[in-house]
Structures are given as C-alpha cells and as structure tokens.
Structure 1
Amino acid sequence: MSESSEPSGIPIRRRRPLRRVLLAVVSALALATAGATAAQGDAPAPPTGWTRVFVDDFNGTAGTGVNTSNWQYATGTSYPGGPANWGTGEVETMTSSTNNVSLDGNGNLRITPLRDSAGNWTSGRIETNRTDFQPPAGGKLRVESRLQMPNVTGTAAEGYWPAFWMLGAPYRGNYQNWPSVGELDIMENVQGRNQVWATMHCGTNPGGPCNETTGLGNSTACPNTTCQSSFHTYTMEWDRSVTPETIRFSVDGTRFHSVNASQVDATTWNNATNHGFFIILNVAMGGAFPDAFGGGLDGDTRSGVPMVVDYVQVLSAAGSTTTPPPSGTRDAYSAIQAESYDSQSGVSTETTTDSGGGQNIGSLANGDWALFQNVAFGSTAATQFIARVASGAGSGVSGLVEVRLDSRTNAPIGSFSIANTGGWQSWRTVPANISGVTGTHDVYLTFTSGQPQDFVNVNWFNFRR
C-alpha cells in the first residue's frame, strides 16, 4: 500500500521486524549514472485469451509531461479536504513540473524527487483518469508495469518510497473512506532495499479484518538482479474465475503473494472490490513506511534519482467455457480434463495455447488442490499416474504434483516432482508410480512446494494399470 490517504494518524505499516539498513559507499561514477537507462520497448502483446484495455508506453519527446488523456497529476501535499501529507507523513510536495514528472525520449517516464537549497522536497504523483479497472464477471484483470526503482541504496536512499498501486474508485472525490474502498499495492519499496512489497488494504482502520494499517501483505527480493539496478515487471492479477475470488501479485512472472475472498468477511470483500479502481505511480519521500525501516531522510539522502517506468498496461480476460464435471463416474483410464474439477482451492483456469489443448488449470503453488469425484478404477489395480504439465517457474523453484484418495489430508499414493519445463505453456507428459488402486474414489490433486511461488500448470491426467 503506497501512501494511501488514511483518514487519521500516520501509520506504521509493516508487521515485519525492523532491520538495520546496511550503509553503502556510493562512488562518484555511480552517482553520476544513477538515473541512466537505455531505450525501452513497448508493452508486450497480450497473451492468448487476453484483451488490452489500457496501455501507456510513455513514448514522446524528452522533457515533456505525461499524456493527460491517460493521466492526471495529483499535486500539493494532500487531496482537497483529505488528510495532510497524503495521510502517511511523507514530506514532499507533489508537482506537475517536468522537473519531477517527464518523458525521457527513450520510451520511459521518470518520476524524480528533488531537494531544493532550503531542504524542501518535490516529487511526482500521477493517476489514471479512468477509474473502471476491474475484472469482468467470471473473468480476470491483469495490471502490470515494467519499471526500475530509483537506483540508489544505503544512506543515500533513506526516505525514498517509490510505488505502483491502485485505489478503489469510490475514494476519488471522497478522500475519507479508506481503507474500506480497497487498495491494491502492486509494488512498494523503501530505503533502497532489494525488496518489493505487495499488499491489499480493506476493512476498517486501525485493526479490523485486514489488519490495518499493515494490511494483508507480503514481500520478496527482486529475482536475478536487484530492484534498484534493473527493470523488473510487477503484476497484479485479479481472478474472478475461481472460488474464492483471488488477487495475486508477482514480480517477473513469479507469484509471491495472494489474497482471496475467504480471508475476510463477505461485506469487507464486497466493499473493497465491487467497483472499479484507478492506477497510481509516485515517489514519496519520508513517511511512516520508510520510518519503519530506519527512516533517516536528511542531508545525506541523494536528490534527483528517478523511478523509471517503461510501460503500464491493463489486460482483461473474459470468463472461459470450461469442461464441467460429469454427472456420473469418471473413467480413470481416459484423460480427465484438469479444469473439470468438482472443487478446488487456489486454482485458476486458462486457455491452453497449443492446438487442441483446450483449458488448463494454473497458478498452482504450495497448498493448492483440485478435487475430481467418482473416479472409477475397476477391479484391476491402477499402478501409474500420468499428467500433462508445464512450468515457467523461476530458478530453484519446484514442487510435487501428488495424488490423494478420498481426502486431501490422506497420505499421497504417488507423486512426481516438476520444475521449469521451458514455459507455462511448454507441455510435458510425466508419469509416476502409485500404490495399486481399485474401486471408485474421489481423487485429489494436491500441490506441495517449499517455496510460495507458482510452480506448475496441469492440462489433463489419467491412470494406467
């Protein structure tokens, strides 16, 4: 949750223990090139099954402002009538000046905090004019940005607070109904740490079902390269095709946090999600979140290091037609389509991109499961389980696809391990031995991993004697 406008007080937003920020010596060369970036590409084309509903690639003449058909500037130190200092204790004044918010001529937006000779800070905060971003009924919404956090660390980064986030549409013009109207923080960072936070805010403040002012959040390190030194892609996927409705957060395609409707009461979830959202990009200076990790905004903090944004885009996917569960028994020895489950937890359904693939289930991570009822094995024992699977999991991420009978808490009768197969639609048919099974059973596919990230998609499965 970025510096969302909270109706009272200055929150301490994180429940994680404070850690000492390591001091870094910043060389003169690093300081001179802290904001330098190469030309970036346009937003990637939507995957199969997705439609683009908004995009800004920030193409334009260097030194010009943002496209005001897409964006509006939030200026000053608060919304009109809203809480002071944007509700978080940050100290900058937001402006529409191209000194703080401008295109760089290479396909990027730069939001640059600056300190004047008197020690006062200015920065930039832009919001989409549109407030209608939400998934269609039974469908999905994906909001993503490829960006580089301000490339500054150590004491020079103290007080920096870049963010890419969303607020519920009812907030615009009211400014007193946070957090009940919902906030979705896709990327937050403070103090130049190699750490990204994602959070959902909802309910009441303080406390309430969403643990405010902390919210329902989690964090992770940026993969492969640090958040500050490189561009990374930060994504929120809001999925109404599953039960319970789920919102997932990822960096570079690796999910590290999710929140679903079963975690709070129905009224809280409905108030936070049953409406559109608008998108915000900003760099705050100082405030409660940096203070929770050492704060220290002072003369040592380096002025003029921008957050650099390659693109922002919003994609939508309509509810898909999936194979329904059969009314009678299932044949254990014919392909059982994975999307024909009778019940599930943590599972999403998507179109399989290869010819004839139909649908697959995805977003499968530790603790997820799918139930397939009334699977008939006959009187001759099945001894093998086969599944068509794919994985685009990151390096070092793997897990088990397990088969359990009649209860998902029963011991597995067999399993196989799966790691990256070359992509989320790079399919492999994997066999596993199982204990002999006869008769008719409810079959649970369960997914177990030592990491929280997604590790597998499943297209179909069956059994062999």
Structure 2
Amino acid sequence: MMTATIRRRRRLTAVAVVLAALTGLLVKAAVSASAAVPPTPSGWSLVWSDDFDGPANTLPSSSNWIIDTGHSYPGGPANWGTGEIQNYTSSTSNLSLDGSGNLRITPLRSGSGEWTSARIETRRADFKPAEGRVLRIEGRIQMPNVTGNAALGYWPAFWALGAPYRGNYWNWPGIGEFDIMENVNGINSVWGVLHCGVSPGGPCQETTGLAANRACPGSTCQAAYHTYRFEWDRSVSPNQLRWYVDGQQFHSVNQSQFDATTWNNMTGHAGYFLLLNVAMGGAFPNALGGSTPTPDTVPGRPMMVDYVAVWQSGSTGPTPTNPPGGVDARSTIQAERYQAQSGTIVETTTDSGGGQNVGAISNGDWLRFDGVNFGSEAAHQFKARVASGAAAGVSGLVQVRLDSPTATPIGDFALANTGGWQSWRTIPANISGVTGTHTVYLTFSSGQPASFVNVNWFTFSTT
C-alpha cells in the first residue's frame, strides 16, 4: 500500500487544503488501480480471475475458492504429503481480505507452540489450454516479509495440481504439479518446479522435481510485490512449459524430455486447479535450513496476493457479439457458465474433477452461451462430457445450434444411460464447419418427458 504524509503547518492556507485533498484522492485512485487484474493482452482472452476485492477481515469468495483445513485431505497423506507441521484453518486470523484488494495468508503460533496458517484452492479444476493455444497463469504476490533466522520454516507457494488428484490423493506426482512460485526460509529467490511421473526418481527426479530458481528482479521477493507467471504452450511442437518472474523467463521444460505415458498422464486429463498457501516446516525448508521452524522463527508475517488470473491465447478481441471476456470455442466451456437456460438445474459434480454440472435436463430444455469465438479456422467437431442415469428405454439428443434455439442443428449425438448421473463419458460429434463468433445453444430433444442427460463441459475443435 502506498501512503502519503502531509506535514501540517499552523498557517495552512485554503489553497493548500484543497491541494492536499486532491492529492489524497489521487493516491487512493492509484492504489485502487494497482489492485485490479491487468487488462487482457491483445490476442488473449480472460479465462478466470480474482482480484480479492471485498471488505477487510472477510474470507475470499466461496464461489472461487475452497478452503483446505487440518493436517491433510480426508484419507490423504499426513501433513499434506510434505512433512509441513501447521494446522490449516478457515479463521480470518490466518486467511482474509485486507480491504484494499489483497488476500493475506498469515502463519501464526499459539501460546502452546502450535502453528496455524491457510491454504486455498480454486473450485475450478479445468485450467488447460485448448489444442494449439497457450495458457497463462499469473499472480502478483509479495512473499512474507521476513528473512534470516526469523524466516526459518516459512514456505509460501502459488501452484497447480492435476484435477484427478481430487478425491484420490495418492496419484501424485503422475497427475502433474506446476509450482509457479515457491520460496523457503525468507531467501531472496523464486523457485519454479515441475513434478511428474513416479516417486522416487522418474523423469522428474522426484521428490525434488525439475526445478530452477533465481533472485527476484529489483526489490527482493520479500520486500515488494512481484508477478509470477506460468505458461503451458500447446501452440508449438514439442509442447513447452515456461516459468517467469516479472516477465523474465527463468525455467522451461518441453514435451520431448518425457516418455509419452508420463506426458499424457500429466496433460491428458481435464486440467488443473490452482492453490495458494503458506506452509510451515516440511521437506523443502528443512532441506535448506535444518529442522524448521525454530524458536527464532517469527509468526505473523503474511503472504500478500494482489490478484490471480488465467488467460488463453487466441482471442480476436471484443466485437458486438463477442464482448470482453467472450469464450474461446476451443477452450473447455463449463456447462454451468451459461448466460441463460430453460428447465435445468446446477449441481455439484462428485467425481475427481470436482466443480459443477448442469442436470435434470429433459426434452425441450436448452442452455445459451454468448460470444463463443470460433476464429477463422473452421471447427468441424463438437465434444461434450455427459452422464445419464435415465431409465431403460429413455434416451435423447444433445444438439448444437447457432444464434437461435430454433435454428437447424449443426450437429448432435444420441445418449442413453451411461451407468449413473455422475458416470461421465466424453462423446464427440461431427458438426458443419463454423467460423466467426456466435451465440451457441445446447438444445435437448427426447421422445419422453423424463430427464435423460447431465452436462459437465463441452468444446469445439478443427478435427
């Protein structure tokens, strides 16, 4: 936060008072602007973001974030699988907005010596670039402002885990982990790490991972905000993964470094969810500082997060039918993110991918998605993740229409019982070639009035 000190004099003129007031307003405006998610770059589209606006001492948006608590996931590895010692809580003492557009995650130590802190993860678990696109995950973060012996055991992180980890908790590192920013013990350095394959050893040299680190440019990592970015590039062959701090690349790996099975296990699933946390102690800080934390470790130094945002390359920019934030047709379009609907409900998806789906869909129902941008290269295939617990003899069509719910379908597929309302199948269908930007309608047709399908997500592709 920027602050201004105005020295008052006994003989302050009225003009000076006005100037001081204007200066205060300008300072407030500058601070507010700095807390916003940056404008979407030309040629990109915004997939998701949170700028952590909200009243001071409140929790972050429950629509965007899940708060992890305790010492492990239910049924998962103890101490979150890393040996960290803190107890994660949902207390605003450990996790809160600061009222100025930032999130605070604050480790604390009780009188009895117990450490508490906080860890949150996005509800969405589908962050993944469409074929031929680049996904950019970015956060503006100030690490806990503590160094030396007072920082021993601090382990702030901004990272991503493969969606299949949810509900399993024993398939790491095969499902993939991208550590966008890690730091330990108050060292002026950012680590970027990839975890994959098997543990110990394997192509990612577990449990260390494939890592690189560097000092933060300019001010230290602890003394100022820096921008940490990860890019997953499917526009080049072999595909690349890249890490940046303040726009400066410091680490990369590419697809050719891995066998096909390892790469597919890491990238072939629905996508990733994002995490923010400050751990205390554990394998990484202990490896560089001995047993941590120590009696000299000082509690109460928060990690501050200005924003987190996810962009994907390939946008053609806003048009009257593709407003800012419009949808890339080749991205994974979540069914529950419709602009309008008829006859459906939204419910929790219970499989390992998490999130939500649209359910109770029957004959005549529809979903509308505005500003879907197909670009200049025609899409010829539609693919949807669907499930059905319909009774014997009940089936129907999932149809795609453009710009009107009564337009002639450009493609469809038939669906009957898949084994249950949460027994998901990804089904492709050919469509007439589509370019440009359109309002997309999913419509549903059946010869029976009973519900026959749930929809989790859909996407379009050239082949």
TM surpasses 0.5: yes
Q: Which residue of 1 aligns with 2:272?
A: 277
Matching of residues 423-442 of structure 1 within 5 Å: none
Alignment of structure 1 residues 24-423 onto 2, 5 Å: 40-275=34-269, 276-295=271-290, 296-318=292-314
- Give the letter for the 1:128 counterpart: T
State whether residues 39 and 107 of structure 1, in contact with CA within 8 Å, keep that contact through their aligned partners in structure 2.
Answer: no
CA distance in 2, matches of 1:163, 1:41: 20
Displacement of 1:54? 0.6
Partners of 2:210 and 2:234 in 1: how far apart? Answer: 19
Instruction: Please tell me the residue identity of whatever aligns with 1:298.
Output: T
SS in 1 for 2:205: coil
* Alignment-mate amino acid for residue 309 of structure 1: V
Q: 1:40·1:106 contact (CA, 8 Å) conserved in 2?
A: no
Q: Secondary structure of 1:152's match?
A: coil
Query: Is contact 2:95-2:104 (8 Å) kept?
Result: yes
Distance change (3 Å), C-alpha of 1:303 and 1:254 = same
CA contact (8 A) 2:102 2:307 kept: yes
Distance 2:210 2:315 in 1: 27
Supply the distance in 2 between the matched residues of 1:318 and 1:201 (Cα, whole angstroms): 28
Match for 1:313: what amino acid? A
Q: Which residue of structure 2 lines up, in the alignment, with residue 426 of structure 1?
A: none
**Residues in 2 aligned to 1:226 and 1:319: alpha-carbon distance in whole angstroms:** 35
In structure 1, what is the Cα distance between the partners aligned to 2:34 and 2:41? 20
Match of 1:336 in 2: none
Helix, strand or coil at the partner of 1:269? helix
Describe the SS at the equivalent of 1:191.
coil
One-letter amino acid matched to 1:304: G
- The normalised TM-score by structure 2 is 0.60
**1:256 CA displacement:** 0.2
Cα distance in 2 for residues equivalent to 1:75 and 1:274 = 29
CA contact (8 A) 1:141 1:239 kept: yes
Q: 1:319/1:201 Cα in 2 relative to 1: closer, same or farther (>3 Å)?
A: farther
Measure how far apart 1:317 and its partner are. 1.3
Is the Cα–Cα contact under 8 Å of residues 45 and 315 in structure 2 kept in the other structure?
no
* Secondary structure of 1:199 counterpart: strand
Asked if the contact 1:137–1:319 (Cα under 8 Å) also holds between the matched residues in 2, the reply is no
Q: CA deviation at 1:127?
A: 0.1
Q: Which moved more, 1:119-128 or 1:295-304?
A: 295-304
Give, in whole Å, the separation in 2 of the partners of 1:41 and 1:278: 23
Amino acid at match of 1:282: N
Please tell me whether the aligned partners of residues 233 and 241 of structure 2 are also in contact (alpha carbons under 8 angstroms): yes
Alpha-carbon shift at residue 38 of structure 1 (Å): 9.5
- CA separation of 1:167 and 1:210: change in aligned 2, threshold 3 A: same
Give the C-alpha shift of residue 209 in structure 1. Answer: 1.4
SS of residue paired to 2:256: helix
For residue 318 of structure 1, report the CA deviation from its aligned partner: 3.0
Contact preservation (8 Å) 1:141, 1:238: yes
Q: Secondary structure at the match of 2:273?
A: strand
- Structure 2 counterpart of 1:300, which letter? D
Find the residue that maps to 2:261 and give its secondary structure. helix
Distance in 2 separating the partners of 1:256 and 1:209: 20
Would the aligned equivalents of 2:57 and 2:98 in 1 still touch at CA under 8 Å?
Answer: yes
Q: Is contact 2:43–2:315 with CA below 8 Å preserved after alignment?
A: no
**CA distance in 1 between partners of 2:152 and 2:35 (Å):** 31
How far has the Cα of 1:294 moved from its partner? 1.0
Query: What amino acid is the match of 1:62?
Result: A
2:335 corresponds to: none
Give, in whole Å, the separation in 2 of the partners of 1:139 and 1:291. Answer: 39
Q: Which runs of 5+ in 2 are unaligned?
A: 1-30, 317-463
Distance 2:112 2:34 in 1: 35
1:214-241 deviations in Å (ceiling 9; x for gaps): 1111111100110000000000011000
| Offset at residue 40 of structure 1 (A) | 4.0
Secondary structure of 1:61's counterpart equals: coil
% identical equivalent positions: 63
Q: Deviations over 1:165-184 (max 9, x none)?
A: 00000001100000000000
2-side partners of 1:43 and 1:220: how far apart?
Answer: 25
Q: Please say if residues 93 and 123 of structure 1, whose CA atoms lie closer than 8 Å, have aligned partners that are also in contact.
A: yes
- SS where residue 293 of structure 1 aligns? helix
SS of corresponding position for 1:270: helix
Cross-structure match for 1:412 = none
Q: What's the C-alpha RMSD, in Å, of the aligned pairs?
A: 1.4
